[in-house]
Amino acid sequence: MSLDWIYWAISWILLRWHSLWETIGVPDGTFLGTNWAWILSIIFLVVTVRVILFPIFVRQIKSQRAMQALQPQVKALQEKHKGDRETLQKEMMELYRKEKANPLMGCLPMFLQIPVFLGLFHVLRRLDPVQSLNTTLYGWKHEQWQSAVHAKLFTAPIAAQFGSSTAELEGMGANGTTVKIIAAILVAIMITTTYLTSRQMILKTGWAEDPQQRMIQRLMLYGIPASLLVSGAIFPIGVIIYWVTNNLFTLGQQQWVLRKYPPPVINNKSGKAVPGPSARKATAPKAQEKPSRLSRSKANGAVQDTKPAVDGRALAPKPGAKPVNPKKRKPAKRQG
C-alpha cells in the first residue's frame, strides 16, 4: 500500500504553516543559530494533528472510565473462571460488548499518530543537500526545499541525526559534535516526556485488573521509552522536535481531560464503581443555610417576621394593682 497520500498531507500542512510564519514576519534567517519559521511549522504541525484527534482522545478517556467501572465484574469473572483462560476471555469480551467498552480504545490515538510520525520522518529524510530537488517531492517548491535543507536548531540541521555520518554532516555544513549534543539532549527529553505521559495516565486511572490491559500499560510505561533510547539515534532532529512537542501537548491535554472526567472510585463494601471526588463535588446538593433570628421570609405574598412572638397579656397589669409610672424613679434612700 502506497503511503504517498500521507507524505503529501504532511508536506501540505508543514508548508502552509511555514508560509503563514513568513507572511507574519517570522525571520527565516538564523537567530541563535535557529530557523524559527521551520521550527514553528513543526510545532504547529503537532497542534493541527492534536486538534483533529481531540474528539478521539476524549472517547479514549471515556472508554477507560468504562473499563474502570467494569473492574469489579472483571475480577468476579477471573475468580469464577480461574484456570480456564479460554472461557474467561469469552466472558470478558461478552461483558465488554454488552457494556459497550472497547479495551483497544486506549491505544487508538497513539496508533493514529504513527502515520503522521512516519510521514514527517520520510519527508525530512528527503532533505538531502547533496542531491537536487526531486520534482515529485510532494508539492515542495525549489525555494522551500532549499530553505528547509539549511534549517537549523541551534546550528544543528533539522534533517541531521545523532548517527549521521561525517560525509552527511559535511554536506549539511554542520559540526558533528554540536549535532550529537543537540540530538542527545532532545532524545533525553523525548524519553522523559514519553514516560511522564504514560505515568500521568496510569496514576490517575490505576493499574488494570485485566492481565491484557496491564500488559499494555507496562508496555506504554516502560517498553516504549526504552526503545527510544536506541531508535532515537536514527530520528532526524526535526522528528524529535515533533515528538517532544507532541508529548508536552499530551501532558497538558490529559491533565485537562482527567479533571473534566475524573476516574470512578470502587466502593469497598459494594464492589461497585461510584463517581470520583470531583464528580461528587459537582453534583452534591448545597447545604441549606440556617435562618437567622432577624431574617424575614415571604410566604403567601405576606412578609412574616421570624422574631419570636411576645404574649401581650403577660405584660398587662394585674387587676387591683397600683399603676406604675415607668418614668417616675424611686427616691434614693438616705444613709443614717
pLDDT tens, position by position, 129-187: 766 555 567 888 888 888 898 899 999 999 999 988 888 888 888 899 999 999 999 99
Q: Where do runs of H (alpha helix) occur along the chain?
A: 4-24, 36-69, 71-80, 85-99, 108-125, 142-149, 166-172, 176-205, 211-218, 224-231, 237-260, 277-283, 312-315
Judged against a pLDDT cut of 50, whether residue 288 lies above it is answered with: no
pLDDT at 333: 53
Examine residue 133 and state whether it is found in any structural domain, yes or no. Answer: yes
Cα separation of 286 and 300, whole Å? 25
pLDDT of residue 320: 58
Lowest mean pLDDT, pick from 35-49, 63-77, 162-176:
63-77
Would you place residue 285 in the very low, low, confident or very high pLDDT band (cuts 50, 70, 90)? very low
> Quick one: average pLDDT of 53-66?
79
Nearest to 58 by CA among 254, 263, 321: 254
The stretch 76-96 carries a mean pLDDT of 84
Residue 139 falls inside a structural domain:
yes
146 belongs to a structural domain: yes
188: nearest Cα among 222, 232, 158, 221: 232
Question: Residue 318 falls within a domain, yes or no?
Answer: no
**Over residues 189-213, mean pLDDT:** 83
Quote the number of domains for the chain: 1
pLDDT for 165 equals 85
> Looking at residue 287, what is its pLDDT?
46
Find the domain containing 14 and state its range: 4-273
**Whether the predicted pLDDT of 302 surpasses 50:** no
**Residues 21/41, Cβ–Cβ less than 8 Å:** yes
Q: 267: pLDDT confidence band, cut at 50, 70 and 90?
A: low
pLDDT band at 8 (very low <50, low <70, confident <90, very high): very high
pTM score of the predicted model: 0.70
119 part of a folded domain: yes
Q: What is the pLDDT of residue 57?
A: 79
pLDDT of residue 75: 83
User: Region 262-272: what's the mean pLDDT?
Assistant: 55
pLDDT at 231: 87
Residue 207 lies inside a defined structural domain of this protein: yes
pLDDT band at 330 (very low <50, low <70, confident <90, very high): low
Q: How far apart are CA 103 and CA 60, in angstroms?
A: 10
The pLDDT assigned to 266 comes to 54
> Is 307 part of a structural domain of the chain?
no
Residue 263 confidence class, pLDDT cut points 50, 70, 90: low
In a domain, 293, yes or no: no
pLDDT of residue 133: 59
Q: What is the average pLDDT across 188-207?
A: 87
Task: Band the pLDDT of 318: cuts 50, 70, 90.
Answer: low
What is the rounded CA–CA span in Å between residue 78 and residue 98? 18
pLDDT confidence band for 72 (50 / 70 / 90):
confident
Q: What is the mean pLDDT of the chain?
A: 78
pLDDT at 251 over 80: yes
Give the span between the Cα atoms of 150 and 96, in whole angstroms: 52
